Amino acid sequence: MNHWLEFFVHWASSLGLNYGFLLDAYPRSTLAQGALTTLWLCLLTIIGSLLTGLGLAALLTSGKRALAVPARVFIEVTRNTPTLVQLYCAFLVLNMLLNQAVGTANPLTPFAWVVIVISLHKGAFHAEALRAGIEAVPAVTLEAARSLAFSNRQLLWNVQLPLALRFALPSLINNLIDLVKMTAVASAIAVGDITYSAIMIWTQSDNVLELMILLLGFYGLLSFIVNCVGRYLEARLRMPGYGH
């Protein structure tokens, strides 16, 4: 491991890039910790956003105005305001109110707030994709299922969602790649993700360019992995004659 690292540092220095800090234990562990935090953040928000999206899509297509209108308002507000402002509204406003109410017993850390805000934010985008998928299910399919005495919930869970998922998968994956990139805003409220650790390192030693290339590579790799998983799922779930 160390051997390869030294080799890499040597090779990069021949290109004029000074990656010497990677051989130093402290910055290296900071970066590794940051990368791990980003991975956790991505994993938790992917799960959270998909669940939120599912819930919102179910509300939107429920056919009941009392459920659909609040969901629609939430989605429009979420889609048309910056994530950073939402994060501040949650962390600086709600968290402050919570702190005033319960004092130091406040269970929510900055990390938890980022997970909540990004899950809700991307959930709104997932919901739109899923709604389009649910609405694309042919009416005859629904009639056929209804004539087989499926209840509304069974209809959604067993007929509409499996078909909607296939239809919406490309845009869901697109949203998830966006989500991976969005986790960088966590650094704004001092969650120690990889962007934050990079900032911490380059304020101490002047190596912005090297760290930037490292960051771009890291996020590129993460979105590439999400993309590959998406491609695999698309191929796996493909039903001949339906969807793309």
Partner 1 sequence: MAIESVCMALLQWSPALIAGFGQNILISLLAIGLGTVLGLLVGMLALSPWRLLRLPARLWVQVFRNAPWLVLIYFTTYVFPFEIHVGSAYIPFPDWVKVTIGLALPASANVAEILRGAVASIPGTQWEAARSLAFSRWQIAVSIIMPQCLKRMLAPWMNLYAVVTMGTALASLVGVHDVIDTAQIASNTVNLTGFTVLVYLSLLVLFFAYCYPISRLTQRLERRYAFY
Q: Which residues bind partner 1 (CB under 8 A)?
A: 76-77, 79-86, 88-89, 92-93, 96-97, 100, 177, 181-185, 187-188, 195, 199, 202, 208-209, 212, 215-216, 219-220, 223-224
How far, in Å, CA of 48 to CA of 60, rounded?
Answer: 18
Tell me which residue of 132, 229, 131 sits closest to 180, measured CA to CA.
Answer: 229
The residue among 34 and 161 lying less far from partner 1, judged by its C-beta, is 34
CB of 177 to partner 1, least distance (A): 8
CB of 92 to partner 1, least distance (A): 6
The residue among 51 and 213 lying less far from partner 1, judged by its C-beta, is 213
Tell me which residue of 135, 124, 133 sits closest to 51, measured CA to CA.
Answer: 124
CB of 93 to partner 1, least distance (A): 5
Look up residue 153 and give its two tokens: 């919930």
The residue among 137 and 177 lying less far from partner 1, judged by its C-beta, is 177
CB of 183 to partner 1, least distance (A): 8
The residue among 165 and 211 lying less far from partner 1, judged by its C-beta, is 211
What would the DSSP string read from start to end of 91-132?
A: IIIIHHHHHHHHGGG----HHHHHHHHHHHHHHHHHHHHHHH
CA 140 to chain centre: 35
